[in-house]
Structure 1
Amino acid sequence: MNVRSLRLRLLLVFMVLFTSNSVWAENKKIVLSQLFQSVMFLPVYVALDKGFFEKQGLDVSKQTAGSPNAALSAVISGSADFSLHGPEWTAIAASKGANVQIVAGVVNRAAVWIVGKPDFHYKDPADFKGKTVATGLMPIASTSLLNKLLQENKASDGVKVLQVQAGSELAPLLAGQADAAVVYEPGVDQLVAKGMKVIHSFPQQYGPYLLSAITTRKDQDPETVLGFITGLNNAMKFMHEHPDVALEVARKEFPTLEPDVVAAAVKRMLDEQVYPESIAISPKSFEVAMQTQIALGNLKEQPVFDQLIGNTFIQNALSTAATTH
């Protein structure tokens, strides 16, 4: 064998090995179906932007479904691997036989606030009497929380609840057609920037409350589930250690919003512990969230924690994080 032939063979062997390694190293493509694009879901966006999923061998892309039913249906049908929305929708689907489970918490507080006019004198829900409150069209968590607040305080009579398309709750308040609005961030700080004031904080009222979570099928590949939630958990830890970087990601995800509004929204949710420090789901936060849905008639009974929450996955991800830091 001459030198030229030997070099050619070595080159072919190298090319085969290189190609094979490239295939082996290719990340698994994963689809996350989110309810909507929201600053509440910043932990997911940090995980995407800063490569936390890639480090777990996953190439994750997000799609916006527009409704919780559509997001969850994508998982059930197999067109998405994970979905992000309120846990009550997973509970309802599971009660009807859907093979789904919750594998990570994302929003750890009832991240909804009531914002009123500057001259709205508010001490308790009785002060809503004779007022108009703008809120999202049901079914939506913000309106569920408002209704529960009014019902529990026997304050429903005399209150005009103006339901509008989700995301447009600010308009009636700014136009003078409502005295208050029930909103998520960044709507809260958009209104504050225009002179309105926060009159009620549901995060402060409830404390730990599982508002939004990651759902997947029970037959999803276990390694994929563990990799996804481990990446998400690591992103949560990172954003609490580096809030300035988290803010950079938020501004990138919401380029049309005023930078000061984004900064105020992220700060409010860090201060009020809306962004959890881990994916852990406590039985109490789950129970409180489900009680809201039961009180409103959306659920018939309290779901069994261990049947709906994939806690083994969660604990494994937390253990992995503990051993790598």
Structure 2
Amino acid sequence: MRSIGRLVGAATVVASLVISTAVPTAAMAKQVKISQAFQSMLYLPFYVALDKGFFKQQGLDVDKETAGSPTTALSAVLSGSAAFSIHGPEWTAIANSKGADVAIICNVVNGAAVWVAATPDFKYDTLQDLKGQKVVAGLMPTTSTSLFMKLLKDNGMKPDSDVDLLQVQIGSEPGPFLGGQAKLAVLYEPGLDQVVAKGMKVVIGFPKAYGPYAFSSITARKNVDPKDAQAVVNAMELALRFMKNNPDETVAIAQKEFPTLDPKIVEAAVRRMMAENVYPSSVQTTQQAFETAMQTQIALGNLKQAPKYEDFVVQDYVKPALALK
């Protein structure tokens, strides 16, 4: 009986040890906040990392915050209320130029994800065909309208006189365009595929025109906890690999993230962005992609000069992430 008692006691101890080591794994995960500018289809790699548990695999419990604007998301990092933010790297560069000790640590969107759509009857051969036309575009400041204005300037046209820009709230561009207020519209996804589904045609695609373009990145303070930063970049790298190898499941995750949109529109938008290399192949932000994005901002007057690639695009976390097996 004493032997049985000892066995029962030993079993109880072993069971309690198993429970005590198994349960705390989630509890041991460090909570970090990532502030995104918007709930955007552009940030799909981030949502994939959340959905597939890649952050938790790396020991993080991520609290996703939607700030409502790039500046508000970045302000969360500057104030310390969030460890990381997701938005265009130009906002980080502007803050850096004013003395903020911030940099980008991870690629999220690597293509200029903006398109110009036209009505089926609009004849488009060259950019000069846009002269005198009304064009629906997002309310400035926004990258879509900025890129469109730069395109006009680069081709000898004046945005304030050669076209009639109808600026509306970002995301609402399809409404006035489909309502017949203009024959052209500058659009992000899923707005582009919403109007394509209604018979509109794509006449200009910025992803193909620009090639690699640092469009959205993860920002952090330079004194961020390096373990947290490494875990974030690792998770994002795993998400990008997953997207490449599992396009159908990636579409399903996007449909879950945007339940109020037509699933067919979501699928068309995601597949278009994957086909046009809007989503990066890795977390690496190349010097070419960085310089293209910064030169655009300099041309628009948002930046006087670009920060040095070597100082501003942190490689410390990228190289280990690329080496993951």
Normalising by structure 1, we get a TM-score of 0.93
Q: Deviations over 1:101-131 (max 9, x none)?
A: 1011111100000111111111222111111
Superposition deviation, residue 5 in structure 1: 8.9
Alignment of 1:156-305 (within 5 A): 156=158, 157-305=161-309
- One of 60, 64, 71 as aligned partner of 2:73: 71
Secondary structure of 1:257 counterpart: coil
Q: Distance in 2 between matches of 1:205 and 1:223?
A: 38
Q: Which residue of 2 aligns with 1:52?
A: 54
Secondary structure of 1:317 counterpart: helix
How many equivalent residue pairs?
321
Amino acid at match of 1:168: S
Once the two structures are overlaid, the 10-residue window that deviates more, 12-21 or 192-201, is 12-21
Q: Distance in 2 between matches of 1:300 and 1:191?
A: 37
Q: Deviations over 1:181-237 (max 9, x none)?
A: 111111110000011111100001100000000111111111111111111111101
Q: Distance in 2 between matches of 1:8 and 1:76?
A: 54
Q: Distance in 1 between matches of 2:171 and 2:118?
A: 17
Superposition deviation, residue 22 in structure 1: 3.6
- Unaligned 5+ residue runs, structure 1? none
Judge conservation of contact 2:58–2:235 (CA < 8 Å) in 1. yes
Q: Which residue of 1 aligns with 2:121?
A: 119
Q: Distance in 1 between matches of 2:57 and 2:5?
A: 41
Superposition deviation, residue 39 in structure 1: 1.2
Q: Deviations over 1:231-263 (max 9, x none)?
A: 111110111111011011011111111111111
Amino acid at match of 2:173: E
Q: Distance in 1 between matches of 2:48 and 2:25?
A: 26
Q: Distance in 2 between matches of 1:24 and 1:255?
A: 31
Superposition deviation, residue 31 in structure 1: 1.3
Q: Distance in 2 between matches of 1:14 and 1:52?
A: 29
Q: Distance in 1 between matches of 2:220 and 2:320?
A: 16
Superposition deviation, residue 7 in structure 1: 5.7
Superposition deviation, residue 309 in structure 1: 0.8
Q: Distance in 1 between matches of 2:275 and 2:16?
A: 53
Q: Which residue of 2 aligns with 1:96?
A: 98
Judge conservation of contact 2:93–2:306 (CA < 8 Å) in 1. no
> 4+ runs of 1 displaced by more than 2 Å?
2-26
- Unaligned 5+ residue runs, structure 2? none
Q: Distance in 1 between matches of 2:21 and 2:111?
A: 46
Amino acid at match of 1:268: R
Q: Deviations over 1:129-148 (max 9, x none)?
A: 11111111111110110110
Normalising by structure 2, we get a TM-score of 0.93
Q: Distance in 2 between matches of 1:247 and 1:7?
A: 51
Q: Distance in 2 between matches of 1:14 and 1:257?
A: 48
Amino acid at match of 1:124: T
Q: Deviations over 1:19-67 (max 9, x none)?
A: 3664465211121111111111111111111111111111112111110
Q: Distance in 1 between matches of 2:304 and 2:6?
A: 76
Q: Which residue of 1 aligns with 2:20?
A: 19
Once the two structures are overlaid, the 10-residue window that deviates more, 136-145 or 118-127, is 118-127
Q: Which residue of 2 aligns with 1:132?
A: 134
Secondary structure of 2:316 counterpart: helix
Amino acid at match of 1:185: E
CA 1:163/1:24 → structure 2, altered by over 3 Å: closer, same or farther?
same
Secondary structure of 1:211 counterpart: strand
Identity over aligned pairs, percent: 52
Judge conservation of contact 1:111–1:203 (CA < 8 Å) in 2. yes
Q: CA RMSD in A?
A: 1.9
Q: Distance in 2 between matches of 1:298 and 1:267?
A: 32
Judge conservation of contact 1:128–1:155 (CA < 8 Å) in 2. no
Amino acid at match of 2:58: Q
Q: Deviations over 1:68-122 (max 9, x none)?
A: 0000011111111111100000001111111211011111100000111111111
Superposition deviation, residue 293 in structure 1: 0.4
- One of 126, 141, 144 as aligned partner of 2:143: 141
Q: Distance in 2 between matches of 1:262 and 1:90?
A: 29
